[in-house]
Amino acid sequence: MSHSWVFATLTTASLIFATFGLNAKADAQTLTVNNIEVTNYAQSVLAMEPKRQQAFEEIKKLIGREEIPKIVCNDPSSMNSLPNQAKDIAVNYCNDSQKIVAAHSLTIERFNQITVEIQNNTALKNQIYNTLLRLQNESAAKSGARNAP
């Protein structure tokens, strides 16, 4: 995968909940994130991104040219302005995201803390960026090995 795609994914990670979000409160102190959490976070983001894009496109088709409102997963009232079918898509995305995060050994609270910290911590942002690159390269190498004659 290209570096620009990784950058776009990381940008999405730092803003992953701009459309589908979870309320995250920033603490005044710097968050310590270990290497395992960095990897788990990156894996979660990579698994969530295609689902987020699909949900966004489906909702966009349903509501037409209107701008999609900010949807906060743990604030059901943020979905009130959506038509019922679009609400269902948003709820399904939120539920899937929670499962993905849990499957990668993070709590939603911890995922949100890391998301907020990325916005304020360049070193952590770079570490996650590099981890996303590594994971994508590993995935591409595995795919290539499976598809090789």
Residue 3 has pLDDT above 60, yes or no: no
Q: What share of the chain is helix, strand, coil (3-state, %, to 5)?
A: 70, 5, 30
Q: 3-state DSSP call for residue 57?
A: helix
Instruction: List pLDDT tens digits, range 43-55.
Output: 999 999 889 889 9
* CA–CA separation, 2 and 140 (whole Å): 11
Structure token digits, residue 55: 């949900």
Nearest to 56 by CA among 45, 65, 68: 68
Q: Identify the pLDDT of residue 128.
A: 92
Compare 138 and 106 and report the one with higher pLDDT: 106
Structure token digits, residue 103: 């499957």
The H or E element spanning position 100 is: helix 84-103
Q: Note whether 73 and 17 are within 8 A (CB).
A: yes
Percent of the chain whose pLDDT exceeds 90? 36
Q: Identify the pLDDT of residue 77.
A: 84
Residue 40 has pLDDT above 50, yes or no: yes
Q: Identify the pLDDT of residue 85.
A: 93
Q: Name the band, by pLDDT with cuts 50, 70 and 90, for residue 124.
A: very high
User: Can you tell me which residue has the tokens 């699909």?
Assistant: 54
Compare 74 and 148 and report the one with higher pLDDT: 74
